[in-house]
Chain A
Amino acid sequence: MAFLKFSTLCIIIALMVSLILFSAFIALLVMITPTDFIRSLETKEMQYSLRLTITTSLTATFLAIIIGIPVAYALARKEFPGKNLVKTILDLPMAMPEIVLGITLLLLFGHTPLAQLLSMIGIKIVFSPLGIVVAQFFSALPYTLRILSSSYETINPRYELVSRSLGYGELETFVRITLPLSKAGLIASTAVAFARSVGAFGAVLILAGGIYMVTETLPITLYLNISYGNLSMAVSAGILLIIASFITIFIIEKMGGGKLWR
């Protein structure tokens, strides 16, 4: 009965899966020469795409954090009617295909009174760079909320109660106690929001249109160039996206690895 020990089997599977995935990364890296990569980076299209990706992602991340903080705090600490419904709705974009998120946003900002109201005050979201930000924001928000609210949940509410009893109001207590104690969660959620924004594709494509050198972010660059058969540009965009992911994972590991306050 000399079967493979279960734990050994688990380790072997883990090694194999990561080997396959790692080979895929390597395949991408060796697909083009460093010269091709540099040349791709120097094209107008790539520079535009890179710059647009960074600005839209930073904006979307900023919004996701600024809006995510109070929402996550309410979800973690307060009881209010309809809380579970709100939680489910806010989680939905995480489970739903990005492309469906895109179509719902397209309808909301293209065919409703809200769309008319926005266009009256001169705000154009559909097929515009602003649409990229909106799509990235909604792709990132559920992740931001998850990380932030679980980091608030791990803070003993009695820290806040003690602060209140010492004369500090709710907001001041939040700023001086809760925020510093949830620093790790805040950094991790910022990193994840940025990664989600940079990588957002389906929703961005549908809402902002994927227009060459207008609403073209890195995933769109990859997609457009693959369809033209321009492999070197597509692979370069892919490499940039992988670099962004690695940085994110690194930051999250660093922050999540036991540094969260009790």
Chain B
Amino acid sequence: MEMIRLENLSVALGQFHLRNINLAVEKGEYVCIIGPTGAGKTVLIETIAGFHKPYKGRIILDGDDITSKPPEKRGISIVYQDYMLFPHMTVYENIAYGAKKKIRDKRILEEEIERIAHIMGISHLLNRKPETLSGGEQQRVAIARAIISKPKLLLMDEPFSALDTRTTEKLRDFVKRVATEYDLTIIHVTHDIVDVWSLADKVAIMNNGTIIQYGEVEEVFSKPADDFVAEFIDINILEGEITEVLGEMVLVKVGDTILRVKTNTTTGHRIRIFIRPEDIYISNTPPDYGPGCFRAVVEKILENGPYVQLFLSRNNIVLKAVLTRGYVRCLGLARGKHVYVYIRPENVRVAET
């Protein structure tokens, strides 16, 4: 069942335009919207919440056209990056504020607050003022306040952006749990690709006020619609020519390198292939895999926390790979070192152009 559908939604705010947004989210689905700063992500979800008026298009929520309904009549909750807990109310009062319009019975209200506080792990904080809470605690309260009245749709605008990595990981677990317990439909704006991987069923990539690509996470991440998306999700794009068909496998010539690719494109045309950085295997000795394995030079090593980004080059091709720090040390990788690169055929995606 479809919970929300945006049809050609267009919004103008000063110089900024949101153009022809189309998006459909099924009931219970978790959708992430990702894109660079200024893409219009906040404007988009605030339009869904009813804070900006679109000049074109419709918003259909649970079968109702809510395009011209005020925010308070929509049944859509919103969670912001900076929590927006009411400073003049306690944690309990904040959560109760979210429920009062739906739950009139005082005893049921208390039970519901107890339940959500338990799930979000904030039972011990109920009598505190928001300003005395840590960022992670405040955000859990904000989420509790947003969902206690069981909204049809939960919007979150970069909810983890003000939190450190540890806290973010913990919060992802809370969000996952509550999403199932309350059967939530969620649109979550983020700039962190990890959110997409760990939470979302579907992902929409936004840039310049439009949605460039929308689909299942696996699909979008393995077959980016254009160079912007590829760049943004950090995937390798290569162009090559199919030289030989071997059953359900083909050989693709990229420059002077031969890759094995699993696809049913059988023509001798040029194709674009995509390889995720984490799908590139590296070793010091030649693995006995035949074609699909080649030698390359380590061009650059970028340390990135626990992971290391490796730039490998072979003639005109540059490939980005991601390895753990320990593995890099174990292989003794350094700039200028020659290594063997292997890519499994099923990890190479093909765009049929």
Q: Which residues of A contact B (CB under 8 A)?
A: 156, 158-159, 161-170, 176-177, 180-181, 261-262
Contact = CB atoms under 8 A, between A and B. Distances in A.
Contact of A169 (B70, B75, B97): B70
Contacts of B82: 156, 158
B84 A159 contact: yes
Contacts of B75: 167
B86 A169 contact: no
Interface of B: 46, 49-51, 70-72, 74-78, 80, 82, 84, 86-88, 97-98, 101-102, 145-146, 149
B71 A164 contact: yes
A158 B86 contact: no
A158 to B, nearest CB: 5
Contacts of A166: 72, 77, 97-98, 101, 145-146, 149
B138 to A, nearest CB: 13
A168 B72 contact: yes
A156 B146 CA distance: 18
Contact of A161 (B78, B87, B145, B146): B78
Contacts of A261: 87-88
A169 B102 CA distance: 14
Contacts of A262: 87
B57 to A, nearest CB: 20
B351 to A, nearest CB: 40
A167 B70 contact: no
A165 B78 CA distance: 7
Contacts of B149: 166-167
B80 A158 contact: yes
B102 A164 contact: no
A164 B84 contact: no
Contact of B101 (A158, A159, A168, A181): A168
Contacts of B72: 164-169
B102 A167 contact: yes
Nearest to A180: B88
A161 B49 contact: yes
A163 B77 CA distance: 9
16 contacts: A158-B82, A159-B84, A159-B86, A161-B71, A164-B51, A164-B72, A165-B50, A166-B77, A166-B149, A167-B75, A167-B101, A167-B102, A176-B97, A181-B86, A261-B88, A262-B87
- Chain B binding surface, main DSSP class: loop
A169 B80 CA distance: 20
B102 A156 contact: no
B88 A161 contact: no
B84 A158 contact: yes
Nearest to A179: B88
A170 B72 CA distance: 9
B227 to A, nearest CB: 35
B101 to A, nearest CB: 3
Contacts of B74: 165
A156 B98 contact: no
B97 A165 contact: no
A173 to B, nearest CB: 8
A170 B73 CA distance: 11
B69 to A, nearest CB: 11
Contacts of B146: 165-166
A72 B345 CA distance: 66
A162 B77 CA distance: 7
B84 A181 contact: no
A158 B78 CA distance: 10
Contacts of A168: 72, 101
B42 to A, nearest CB: 10
A168 B99 CA distance: 11
A180 B97 CA distance: 14
B71 A177 contact: no
Contacts of A161: 46, 49, 51, 71, 78
Given A164-B71, A166-B149, A156 B84 contact: yes
Nearest to A162: B84
Nearest to B51: A161
Q: Which of B76, B84, B146 neighbours the largest number of chain A CB atoms within 10 Å of its CB?
A: B84
Nearest to A173: B72
B62 to A, nearest CB: 16
B71 A165 contact: yes
B101 A164 contact: no
A181 B102 contact: no
Nearest to A169: B72
Contacts of A181: 86-88
B87 A165 contact: no
A165 B76 contact: yes
A238 B80 CA distance: 54
A177 B97 CA distance: 11
For the complex of A and B, list the 8 residue pairs with the smallest distance between their C-beta atoms, beginning with the closest: A167-B101, A164-B71, A180-B88, A162-B84, A165-B78, A166-B98, A164-B72, A167-B72
B86 A177 contact: yes
A165 B72 CA distance: 5
B49 A165 contact: yes
A135 B49 CA distance: 45
Given A167-B149, A261-B88, 13 more contacts: A161-B51, A163-B86, A164-B51, A165-B71, A165-B72, A165-B77, A165-B78, A166-B77, A166-B149, A167-B75, A167-B102, A177-B86, A181-B86
Contacts of B101: 166-168
A261 B86 CA distance: 10
Contacts of B46: 161
Contacts of A169: 70, 72
A74 to B, nearest CB: 18
